[in-house]
Amino acid sequence: MNSVDDLCDLIRAILADTSAPADVDIEPQTALLVSGLLDSLTIMRIATRIEETAGVAFPESEVVAANFRTPQTLWALVETLRAEKSAVTR
């Protein structure tokens, strides 16, 4: 996963397996929570897939609504986690 667009694709794929409308378009600024697209299980699925594809670990303290408001806010967290991981491995 290299960009917020990749993250949007991942979210779209996960939502395809849920009861979300099939025609929902996920863009970087899509309001994921207020639109009702995400529930707690879907959030956990997204976090798990990001961990697998982006090579970062989500601390439980970061799996909060504020980080899942839009794909862009979630991407900012992924970049922060990558930077922290990189700083530790240097």
pLDDT tens, position by position, 8-37: 999 999 999 887 776 788 999 999 999 889
Domain extents in the chain: 4-89
Cα(64)–Cα(86) distance, integer angstroms:
23
Task: Identify the CA nearest to 56 among candidates 35, 82, 36.
Answer: 82
Is residue 7 pLDDT above 90, yes or no? yes
Task: Identify the CA nearest to 54 among candidates 4, 14, 89, 90.
Answer: 4
Cα(39)–Cα(4) distance, integer angstroms:
21
Q: How far is CA 12 from the centre of its chain?
A: 10
8-state DSSP, 19: T
Question: Is 22:37 a contact under the CB 8 Å cutoff?
Answer: no
What is the pLDDT at residue 90?
62
Question: Would you say domain 4-89 falls under CATH 3.40.190.10?
Answer: no
pTM for this entry: 0.90
Q: CA dihedral defined by 9, 13, 15, 19, rounded to 10 degrees?
A: 150
